[in-house]
Chain A
Amino acid sequence: MPKMLPQVIAILLAFLVGAIVLTVTGYSPLDAYAAMLSGAFGDTFGIGQTLTQATPIIFTALAFLFAYKCGLFNIGAEGQFLIGALAAALVGISFDGLPVFVHVPLALLAGVAAGAFWGFMPAVLKARLGAHEVITTMMLSYVALYITGYMVNYPFKAPGWVAETVPISPSAELPSILPPTQLSASIFVAVLLAGLTDYTLRKTIIGYEIRAIGLNPTAAESGGISIKKGIILALTISGAMAGLGGAGEVLGVHRRFIEGFSPGYGWDGLAVALVGGLNPAGILLASVLFGALRSGGMTMTRTTHVPLDIATILQALVILFVAAPKLVKYLMKKGGFKW
């Protein structure tokens, strides 16, 4: 059986159920899907917006993947992403007149460091005290949400009605690469990170140790690998990746931290990592699908008036169908598929 087939079937099933929802509520699924497709890929602008939406998800998906390979569920990428975004914004607004080649890396690094710290906390709690990372990363996500909310509502609030920081200095901006779309150089960082993640996991000692812990912690430990060290490293790096993604959004797309600017990129990351078959190349592909749902969804709403949230429903259905691999296998057997 081809490797990605269960994922492809899960996606098809999701669109099928989505079509039922659309039909029952009085919309034409064909028109809606066609509008979505042409909006996402029909012209240069659409493609640019699709890739813009895909970019942050690549980071959060890689973050999920890296921890997952160590047997850890980092479901707090949203918080790490937000904290990274805020840190980058603060560095972006705090300096003026720095050379671009200093300011941009400095702001990105701030995002990495903040995200890493947000991954390091649950990592230590897990390694030293056995606190389950699913709960702690999720709880820390909310802490990050409120802390960033506090920062842009109080100490760093720009004048005016919106809860946001002032714009970052031009010297901290990641260049736009396909105006008038919002696509920024952050996508290069994302693709680079995907390659680096692949290399690290497959070719380095650290990557080997992390995978060994994920596959069989007992065997890894008797083989001389420190589980505690592995857990701390994997979750910290995972947080750093999500934080870098947040920094990229602030420096490349919004050019400031706006409260509520993430429509759930952290949660998308989990979905994209799974739909992508838990490997970096698959993640790049799946992130384009999810990016297309978001950007194509906007076009669909404009032209057919189907509520944008059908895109969210489709994402959720993809997650549920991918979560139940046995269902896909069961359906294939029922349908008489032969391999």
Chain B
Amino acid sequence: MVEFLDIITVGLFAATLRLATPIAYGSLGGLFSERAGIVNIGLEGMMLMGAFAGVTVSYFTGNPWLGVLGAILAGGFLGLVHGLVTVKFAGDQVVSGTGINIFALGFTAYMSQVIWGSRGASESVQELPTISIPLLKDIPIVGEIIGTHTPLVYLMIIITVVSYIILFKTPLGLRIRAVGERPEAADAAGVNVFKTKYLCLIISGMLAGLGGAFLSLGHLNLFALGMTGGRGFIALAAMILGKWMPFGAFGASVLFGFADALQMRLQALGLLPPQIILTIPYILTIAVLAGVVGKAIPPSNYKPYVKE
């Protein structure tokens, strides 16, 4: 029991925030997509592509910030592909997302071998610096937990707030939600349904790409085969658990980040097999969907929109 309590340290909570960051980016990405009426199970692939592009660009330019930009563009590109398949060609959203996931897995593994001659991992690259927030870092405990991180952690918190404002406090957000829920009505009101969906999917991919960049550039400073390890799916789960709301998604991401941090600590101490804790996010999400822990009703109409 004493051992167990020893785990609850400031370090655990700092790790929670770090591990929650990629999930939060992914879940915000999923949010933009689903609010516009498109299921995005391709988040996993978009994150992986972002992680890879981030390291690749950083490797060739020596500048991790250009890497982050590359990750955003790579994720956005896959978002655009998802848009082409599901919006322009009215293809199935789940199938397209699956294709994107498999593509990203194959493409990144292939390119790793082309560039670094190794399938398992890239060479180390310049990683993102960490920054300390003045004043904040001096607060006891709180400062240790949230005072010093890579800027991508703080950017994630800012984007969460901005996403909320965009989706719920601006005309653009109203249009996005209208396109997701009542595309016919939005169209009749003069909203360009297709353009809005494309926009949201590109944003969705960009955010997922950022999440990937955090994993590779802000966390490990290299790319490893399949390094997202299902975090894209966890992000989807966080979005559902957060009831398709930005702050909800953020909160759920922190919860899953905590489970992940705890899992690592327990594993290091040999107290509990990691696999058992790793199932928690998934089981929790199923419970939410089943209405055991509050009811989750998707806000969107996911049918491909066909203009009359």
Which A residues fall within an 8 A CB radius of B?
Answer: 21, 25-26, 73, 75, 125, 129-132, 134-136, 138-140, 142-143, 146-147, 149-150, 153-154, 264, 267, 270-271, 274, 307, 309-317, 319-320, 322-327, 330
Most buried by A among B84, B107, B279: B279
Nearest-neighbour CB distance to chain B for A269, whole angstroms, equals: 11
Return chain A residues, CB-CB under 8 Å to B282.
Answer: 139-140, 142-143
* Contacts A139-B285, A154-B273, A320-B100 given; does A146 touch B85 at CB 8 Å: no
Contact B298 A132 (CB under 8 A): yes
Say which residue of B85, B102, B109, B276 sits within 8 Å of A307 (CB atoms). Answer: B109
Return chain A residues, CB-CB under 8 Å to B276.
Answer: 146, 150
B289 located at the interface, meaning its Cβ lies under 8 Å from any Cβ of chain A in the complex: yes
Known: A26-B114, A139-B285, A320-B81. 13 other contacts (CB 8 A): A21-B107, A125-B289, A136-B289, A138-B41, A270-B98, A307-B110, A312-B102, A314-B106, A315-B102, A320-B100, A324-B85, A324-B91, A325-B89
Nearest-neighbour CB distance to chain B for A201, whole angstroms, equals: 20
Contact B275 A149 (CB under 8 A): yes
Contact B230 A316 (CB under 8 A): no
* Contacts A21-B110, A316-B99, A320-B85 given; does A146 touch B278 at CB 8 Å: yes
* Contacts A312-B106, A312-B109 given; does A319 touch B286 at CB 8 Å: no
Return chain B residues, CB-CB under 8 Å to A26.
Answer: 114
Return chain A residues, CB-CB under 8 Å to B41.
Answer: 75, 134, 138
Interface residues of B in 96-120 (CB under 8 A from A): 96, 98-107, 109-111, 113-114, 119
**CB<8 Å pairs between A and B, sample of 10:** A135-B240, A139-B286, A267-B102, A309-B109, A312-B109, A316-B102, A319-B95, A324-B90, A326-B89, A327-B89
Contact A324 B105 (CB under 8 A): no
Nearest-neighbour CB distance to chain B for A8, whole angstroms, equals: 18
B28 located at the interface, meaning its Cβ lies under 8 Å from any Cβ of chain A in the complex: no
Closest B residue to A133 by CB, please name it: B289
Return chain A residues, CB-CB under 8 Å to B88.
Answer: 326-327
Contact A316 B106 (CB under 8 A): yes
Contact B230 A142 (CB under 8 A): yes
B294 located at the interface, meaning its Cβ lies under 8 Å from any Cβ of chain A in the complex: no
* Contacts A149-B275, A270-B98, A310-B110 given; does A324 touch B84 at CB 8 Å: yes
B39 located at the interface, meaning its Cβ lies under 8 Å from any Cβ of chain A in the complex: yes
Say which residue of A25, A131, A330 sits within 8 Å of B111 (CB atoms). Answer: A25
Interface residues of B in 28-86 (CB under 8 A from A): 39, 41, 81, 84-85
* Contacts A134-B39, A143-B283 given; does A129 touch B106 at CB 8 Å: no
Contact A324 B96 (CB under 8 A): yes
Nearest-neighbour CB distance to chain A for B115, whole angstroms, equals: 9
> How many chain B residues have a CB neighbour from A under 8 Å?
47
Q: With A and B bound together, what is the CA distance between A271 and B95 in angstroms?
A: 8
B237 located at the interface, meaning its Cβ lies under 8 Å from any Cβ of chain A in the complex: yes
Q: With A and B bound together, what is the CA distance between A101 and B265 in angstroms?
A: 48
B11 located at the interface, meaning its Cβ lies under 8 Å from any Cβ of chain A in the complex: no
Return chain B residues, CB-CB under 8 Å to A316.
Answer: 99-107
Contact B291 A323 (CB under 8 A): no
Contact A150 B111 (CB under 8 A): no
Say which residue of A130, A153, A271, A324 sits within 8 Å of B273 (CB atoms). Answer: A153
Return chain A residues, CB-CB under 8 Å to B114.
Answer: 25-26, 307
Say which residue of A143, A312, A314 sits within 8 Å of B105 (CB atoms). Answer: A312
Which B residues fall within an 8 A CB radius of A?
Answer: 39, 41, 81, 84-85, 88-92, 94-96, 98-107, 109-111, 113-114, 119, 230, 233, 236-237, 240, 273, 275-276, 278-279, 282-283, 285-286, 289-291, 298
Closest A residue to B277 by CB, please name it: A146
Say which residue of A154, A309, A314, A323 sits within 8 Å of B96 (CB atoms). Answer: A323
Contact B289 A324 (CB under 8 A): no
Contact A150 B273 (CB under 8 A): yes
Return chain A residues, CB-CB under 8 Å to B240.
Answer: 135
Return chain B residues, CB-CB under 8 Å to A327.
Answer: 84-85, 88-89, 91
Closest A residue to B284 by CB, please name it: A139
Q: With A and B bound together, what is the CA distance between A330 and B101 in angstroms?
A: 25
Return chain B residues, CB-CB under 8 Å to A320.
Answer: 81, 85, 96, 99-100, 103
* Contacts A316-B100, A324-B96 given; does A147 touch B109 at CB 8 Å: no
Q: With A and B bound together, what is the CA distance between A134 and B103 in angstroms?
A: 20
Q: With A and B bound together, what is the CA distance between A264 and B230 in angstroms?
A: 13
Say which residue of A149, A309, A330 sits within 8 Å of B119 (CB atoms). Answer: A309
Return chain B residues, CB-CB under 8 Å to A143.
Answer: 279, 282-283
Nearest-neighbour CB distance to chain A for B264, whole angstroms, equals: 15
Q: With A and B bound together, what is the CA distance between A327 and B278 in angstroms?
A: 40
Q: With A and B bound together, what is the CA distance between A132 and B41 in angstroms?
A: 13
Q: With A and B bound together, what is the CA distance between A310 and B233 in angstroms?
A: 24
Contact B273 A270 (CB under 8 A): no
* Contacts A125-B290, A270-B95, A324-B96 given; does A142 touch B279 at CB 8 Å: yes
Return chain B residues, CB-CB under 8 Å to A310.
Answer: 106, 110
Q: Across chains A and B, which 8 residue pairs bring their CB atoms closest together, nearest first? A: A312-B106, A316-B103, A319-B99, A324-B89, A150-B275, A131-B289, A316-B102, A309-B110
Closest B residue to A311 by CB, please name it: B106
Closest B residue to A154 by CB, please name it: B273
